[in-house]
Each structure stands twice: as C-alpha cells, then as structure tokens.
Structure 1
Amino acid sequence: MTTLNHIITNFSGVGGAEMMLIKLIKSMPSYNHRVISLMGISDEFKLKLSRENVHFYSLNCKNALSLFLSVFKIKRLLKEKQETSLIIAWMYHACFVAGILALLGRSFKVFFNIRHSLDNISSEKFSTKLAIKFTCFLSKFVNGSIFCSQNALIQHQEYGYKGKLIYIPNGIEVDLQTKLENREFHSQNVIGTLGRFHSAKDYPNLLKAFRFVLDKRPNTQLKIGGNGATFSNRKFRKIVDENNIPYNRITLYGQVKETQQFYSNIDVFVLASKTEGFPNVLLEAMYNFLPVVSTDVGDARQIIPSKGMLVEAQNPQYLADLILSVLDLNEDKLKNMAKINHQYIMDNYTIESVSKSYQSVLSEVNWS
C-alpha cells in the first residue's frame, strides 16, 4: 500500500485546509496516510481519523530555526521508514519545508497544496510573505503545485510560480439525510454567515450591510459563527456599535463545529469577504439547500450558478440590496433556488470526484 505523507503547517485549528485534509484522507482508504504537522495536532482530529492506515507526527515548531530544522527531522523520519516519499504539503510554511526536501533529493516526490489567494498580499504577516516568496522559488523543483481555486492558480502563476500548476477544487461529503423537505424558511427572515474574525472576512462590510437591511426590514436576524466573532471581542463589538445595531438582532455562536445545524437555522447565507481562495462555506451552505449571496471574490463566481447572487467586494449598500432582494422572494422561489444550488454542488463538488482527481495526479508521478 502506497504511503502518502501530508506535511501541514498546523493540524490543530479548524480551517479550510484542515477540514479538507480530513475529508481527503477518509476518501482515500487505499493509501497509508502519515500526517506530519510542523506545529501541533489536536486530539479531536486524531479521533476523527482514528483508523489503521493513518499515523501522526507533531514537530512542535516554535520559531524560524525549528521550522528550518524540521526539514532534517522529516528527512530522517522518511528515511527510517525506508519508503518511497510521496509528499503533499498543505499551506505555505509546509510547502517551504517540503520544497527544501525536494531540493535535497530526487527520492522525494513533492506536491505543494496551496489554499490561499493573493488578492491582498500586502496585508499578510511578514512570515507569510516570506513563505510565499520562498515557495515561489522552490516551485520549479517540485512535481507540481495544486490549487483549490482557479483564481488563486492564475494569481500565483502571475506572481512567478513555475512548474506544473494543477486545479483541484474542494469537495463536500455527501449525507443522504440532507433533503429539501427538511428545509424550513423562517418568517422573521434570518441571514447568517460562518467565518473567523479576520480582516479577510470583512466583518465591517457585513455589519454595515446588515444595518442597511435593518432599515428596511427591522425584524431581520443575523446569526454568526466563527472564532473571535463574539461580543467579548472588543474589536468586533466596536463594529456593531458603530453601525448602531441592537445586540438582540445578532446571535453569536463562536466557533461552530456542527455546521449542518447552523445552516438549518438560517434562510440565506451571506459571504461578505474582501478576499478568499476557495470559500468552502459556500459549498456547505448550497449543499444544505440554502440560497447564497456573496461578494465576487476568489472562486465564488465558479461555485455559485447564478451570477446575479454576486456583488463587488467592500460595497455594503450593494450587498444589502442583494440580501433584501432574496429576502423578498416567496418560499417557493427560495426553495427552487435552494434546490438548484444543492444539485449544482452534487454535480460538481463531491469529495469522491475530488479524491479521484488527487489520485489521478499522484498516479502520474515518475519514480525513475
């Protein structure tokens, strides 16, 4: 059985890369999987992937020196196992480490797995900017770079990434219990979003748009799930106060682990980001029979079948107008929109089809 080594920057946070890695491993039972985290690994993730063909290694990197030394730790680990070294590196810092391994020997067959767009590179942390530059240089030495976003692939190509650039989107796990008949739309009109409190998610845009919505529909409720999007966060609370939004119009859940329950409690999903790579939350919301409204960022244009549900980023008035136009639809039209969204995801973005794409790419590796 072939062993696939997944090197990831951190396997303890609940992000898109971590969730996709879990789904991919579960969908590829014919491989042995070794998850090597440069930082930590959560017990929750170990439990989710508790099976005989999955093994975990945590390197507990704390700084730049330990990151560099991790190259030799991983090299020694793979040499001890005496296996052909097929590597997928998830996120920039892990790509840097895997790229160095590719330089050290042809026995390492490396694919970068880049989960990030370059919409606003100036706002990135210094260490991330460095990792982007280094992985750009190293891209010519690896077997290929996989992008979950068509937009991100083009951006990285223009930035200077070389070699084989491959587009494989993210995928959704199919649950046969998810049915349109179980979907109820609320009389009060409930909109919702999922996303951590981060500049990329543009909560000022969302909350200003919500203020405009309340001016027309005072009973509308906004539900938010995401780490840091809480009233205990002074920065978040300040944005709410600046827009004169009553606290009782917003329900905050913090980090949401069971997203399906969240989606069942809203009528329209809203993505207000100013930058995205491949927004997984759109896949999830559409799969769960929801109409979606989104800013035109990342691959939102490829994911949403109705281009009328897109607005330019950082324009809260346009976003509010589009939300209101969807809330004005009757229940039959909302259900029809939800049905179209669900079927589009089923036709294009299941984890089974994504897994086949990964396996096809890996099968083409030349070991000579």
Structure 2
Amino acid sequence: MPENAMAARLNKPKESGPRVLTVVHLITGLSGGGAERMLARIATYAYGPDAPRQIVISLMDEGIYGLAFRSAGIELHCLNMRNGLSFFPALLRLAAILRSLKPSVLMTWLYHADLVGTLAAVIAGMSMRRVIWNVRCADMNLTHYAFTTRMATALLARLSRFPASVAVNSKAGQRAHTKMGYRPKKWIYLPNGFDLDVWRPDEGDREAVRSELKLADDILTVAMIARVDPQKDHGTFLAAARQLVLRHHNLQFVLIGKGTEALELPELAAGRIIALGERHDVHRLLRGLDIVVLSSMTEGFPNVIGEAMASALPCIVTDVGESAELVAETGIVTPAKDPDALAEAIANMASESFSVRESRGAQARERIQANFSIDRIANLYRVTWLSIAESAVRLQLPEQ
C-alpha cells in the first residue's frame, strides 16, 4: 500500500479522536554510542507536516542526549534501571507508560531494551505485532561481556519469533544473529544515516582544530574514534602506531572516545599520540584530521566511518561487518587483528599525494550522500513504522 494511503488510514478519525502515528523508542541508555547517535538523528529529524509523534524511553538515565531530545520537543522518560533491585519497578513503570501512551509502534534499541521492552509490552497488553527490535551489532565476542548480556542474547534468540520484525543496520548483523538462533517473522534492513550539513569539511574549523592540537602544517593526522571496548581493538591500532612512529616522522596519531584518555600508550609512541577522551564535538574535530582508522574486531555498520566519509576523509577499516562495503573503493581494507597489515595500509595512504587523498575523501562524501543521507534513511524508518502500524490495525479499521 502507498505510504500516503497507509498514513491516511492510520490517521483516520475514530470516535475517540484521530489516530496519530505514535512511535515509542526504548533504548538501554543514552551514552555516546553509535545506536544512541542514530536514535537521536531519527527522533529529531524534521519529518514535515505528517511527522509521527516520537517518545524516547531510556532504561537508565538521560546520558548525553537528554538535552537534545528535550530541546527538540521530544518527550523523554528515564527509568533509572541501575541494578537488579531496580529491575522490577522499572519494568512495571515502563508497562504503565506503554499502557498510557498506546503507541502505534514500539521500537527497541540494543539487547537489554529488546528484552525489557518485550516483557513490558506483554504486561501492558500491547500486541507484539507493534514491536520492532532494532539490532545494532554483528559478530560480537560475548565472552568479553557481562553474564547478563550473554543471558539476554540467548533468551532473545528464543523470543525472536514474537515481534513483528527484527531490524538490522547491516547484512552482517543479520547473518550473525541468524547464527545465534534468531528466527524472526521478518528481517528489515535499516542502515545508518548521516546529516551532510553537520558532517562536512570546513577550512576554518580545520585551522582552528589543528591550532588547538598544536599541529604543524606538515603533520598528517591519523585518528581512531571509538570508545574503549574489546570489540574496537585499540591494541591493534596502537601496535601499528608504534611501528610507524619509527619510520614516519610526520605522523601524529589521535584517539577520540570514552576511555581513550586512560589507555596505556606504547612507550616509544607516547609522544606522538594525542588521547582526547570522550568529546561531543567530533563533527568539528574531524575537520582538522587527515585519515580515519577503525581497527575493530567486529562491527555492524560503523557510524564513525560514515561520519568521517561524510566529512570527506579517507578511511582505513578492518574487514568486519559492513565496513569494507561501506568504504568500497574510497578507502583501504585490512584483516582484523593484524597490526602489520594496518601499519602498511596507514603508511600507503600517508604516502599518497594530497590530491589523491582529497579525491578519496570527495568520493567518500559522494558515496554517503548517494546511499546513506539522513533524508533517505529517516524515510525508510517512517515507512517501516507506517507498515507495522498499518498491519497491526488492518482488521480494526474499515476498508477505504
């Protein structure tokens, strides 16, 4: 059914008033991860006159995105679920919120939200035909994570046939979760999207950032932007940096992300690595950089690479998840957990002329604009919500 027809049926007046497309997003927390960033883009996107009503619920606190949601007029609830003792009160409160809101769609983000959201929907008497799980990762080595995460994923695999659909942001994520035992009614592909007005090059910002970081004009910056997490494998990046500082005196390495300021740096390379920790101006910092690297052992669809590409920067990625497909011919792909190969890739890109790297960056931005603009992806989300809501009410509304 065409999108406008679905919207018309969904918004058809009833005795109790017009039915508005209402989407509740439930997420584990609102810290600085990729899922949180994507949720912020989708929830605050300007959908136009037929914009859905969107409500965000965090199982924990408002993190770094609470202010952005409130400023955009997005209703925000925080359940402050911090430990086992707060689980049942938070679950019952969530069920009460769902019962009160009667959302057209409940979209859950990340494993714990998938599980808690499913339980709350059942308690609230909400049809599972209105529930979508939004899976944001691929091949995770769960041995690096808490027992509760391992237990949640095992239970979710068994429950995966109940929601209306399971969305993934990468085909690698679908393959990985199929191996884990997920058997949903339907898979939906919802890749990440990027606002090219935010993620863009800017010469003025480039000069300002390089001045702040005390970088000379002839210095080439190689950055990794990721929180400290086993799957990001900062060790491989640092090992590659250790090799390169001995041979390339114009390279400066930059680490950005929560926990990077506390990483133990290789002794020989310590003076050539800047660790900035968690920053909320990454879009601006990218404008002062030259090459972006992601040495992950596992990925779904890496937000940071899309952001770097939109900022017209060439990227080097490991061959995990959707990374290689994302950069395509604009970047360089290396095997995971291989510092020698990563060092060689960085050296090769650093040895390219400025015009070649600039061309790589321009092609990278064009690739994001053509395939992953926020306008394109936000519309995919909206069509998905309309489809789920229409399916759920098909038997309740009379035919047009």
**Do they superpose with TM above 0.5?**
yes
Unaligned runs of 5+ in 2: 1-19, 211-216, 396-400
Displacement of 1:2 after TM fit?
A: 1.8
1:208 aligns with 2:239: yes
Mapped contact 1:209–1:316 kept (Cα < 8 A): yes
Task: Give the secondary-structure state (helix, strand or coil) at the position aligned to 1:221.
Answer: strand
Q: TM-score, normalised by structure 1?
A: 0.91
Paired with 2:177 and 2:274, the residues of 1 have a C-alpha distance of 38
1:197 aligns with 2:254: no
* TM alignment of 1:79-98, pairs within 5 A: 79-81=99-101, 83-98=102-117
- Do the aligned partners of residues 308 and 57 (structure 1) sit closer, same or farther apart at CA in structure 2, a change above 3 Å counting? closer
Equivalent residue for 1:55, pick from 75, 94, 97: 75
Paired with 2:351 and 2:165, the residues of 1 have a C-alpha distance of 47
Q: Which position in structure 2 is the counterpart of 1:261?
A: 284
Q: Name the stretch that deviates more: 340-349 or 48-57.
A: 48-57
Q: Which amino acid aligns with 2:318?
A: T
Q: Which amino acid aligns with 1:67?
A: F
Q: Deviations over 1:333-367 (max 9, x none)?
A: 11111111110011111111111111111111212
Greater Rg by CA:
2
Paired with 2:181 and 2:283, the residues of 1 have a C-alpha distance of 39
- Do the aligned partners of residues 84 and 23 (structure 1) sit closer, same or farther apart at CA in structure 2, a change above 3 Å counting? closer
- Do the aligned partners of residues 219 and 303 (structure 1) sit closer, same or farther apart at CA in structure 2, a change above 3 Å counting? same
1:72 aligns with 2:103: no
Q: Which position in structure 2 is the counterpart of 1:6?
A: 25
Q: Deviations over 1:135-166 (max 9, x none)?
A: 11221110111111210111101211112111
* TM alignment of 1:9-48, pairs within 5 A: 9-11=28-30, 13-27=31-45, 29=47, 30-42=51-63, 44-48=64-68
Mapped contact 1:189–1:220 kept (Cα < 8 A): yes
Q: Which position in structure 1 is the counterpart of 2:301?
A: 278
Task: Give the secondary-structure state (helix, strand or coil) at the position aligned to 1:216.
Answer: coil
Percent of residue pairs identical:
28
Mapped contact 1:196–1:229 kept (Cα < 8 A): yes
Paired with 2:136 and 2:333, the residues of 1 have a C-alpha distance of 22
Displacement of 1:96 after TM fit?
A: 0.1
Unaligned runs of 5+ in 1: none
Q: Which amino acid aligns with 2:310?
A: Y
Q: How many residues are aligned here?
A: 357
| RMSD, aligned CA | 2.2
Paired with 1:199 and 1:102, the residues of 2 have a C-alpha distance of 33
Mapped contact 1:173–1:351 kept (Cα < 8 A): yes
Paired with 2:141 and 2:199, the residues of 1 have a C-alpha distance of 39
1:353 aligns with 2:371: no
Paired with 2:271 and 2:163, the residues of 1 have a C-alpha distance of 52
Displacement of 1:34 after TM fit?
A: 1.3
Paired with 1:194 and 1:271, the residues of 2 have a C-alpha distance of 7
Mapped contact 1:4–1:88 kept (Cα < 8 A): yes
Q: Which amino acid aligns with 1:287?
A: A
Mapped contact 1:5–1:36 kept (Cα < 8 A): yes
- Do the aligned partners of residues 170 and 334 (structure 1) sit closer, same or farther apart at CA in structure 2, a change above 3 Å counting? same
Task: Give the secondary-structure state (helix, strand or coil) at the position aligned to 2:362.
Answer: helix
Q: Which position in structure 1 is the counterpart of 2:167?
A: 146
Displacement of 1:80 after TM fit?
A: 2.6
Paired with 1:52 and 1:254, the residues of 2 have a C-alpha distance of 27
Displacement of 1:62 after TM fit?
A: 2.2
Q: Which amino acid aligns with 2:355?
A: D
- Do the aligned partners of residues 305 and 339 (structure 1) sit closer, same or farther apart at CA in structure 2, a change above 3 Å counting? same
Q: Which amino acid aligns with 1:153?
A: Q
Task: Give the secondary-structure state (helix, strand or coil) at the position aligned to 1:251.
Answer: strand
Mapped contact 1:172–1:351 kept (Cα < 8 A): yes
Q: Which amino acid aligns with 2:243?
A: F
Paired with 1:344 and 1:304, the residues of 2 have a C-alpha distance of 8
Q: Deviations over 1:286-338 (max 9, x none)?
A: 11111111111121022112286000001001100011011111111111111
- Do the aligned partners of residues 94 and 119 (structure 1) sit closer, same or farther apart at CA in structure 2, a change above 3 Å counting? closer
Q: Which position in structure 1 is the counterpart of 2:187?
A: 165
Q: Which position in structure 1 is the counterpart of 2:366?
A: 343
Mapped contact 2:233–2:295 kept (Cα < 8 A): yes
- Do the aligned partners of residues 222 and 313 (structure 1) sit closer, same or farther apart at CA in structure 2, a change above 3 Å counting? same
Paired with 1:196 and 1:15, the residues of 2 have a C-alpha distance of 8
Paired with 1:316 and 1:274, the residues of 2 have a C-alpha distance of 12
Paired with 2:296 and 2:170, the residues of 1 have a C-alpha distance of 15
- Do the aligned partners of residues 53 and 162 (structure 1) sit closer, same or farther apart at CA in structure 2, a change above 3 Å counting? farther
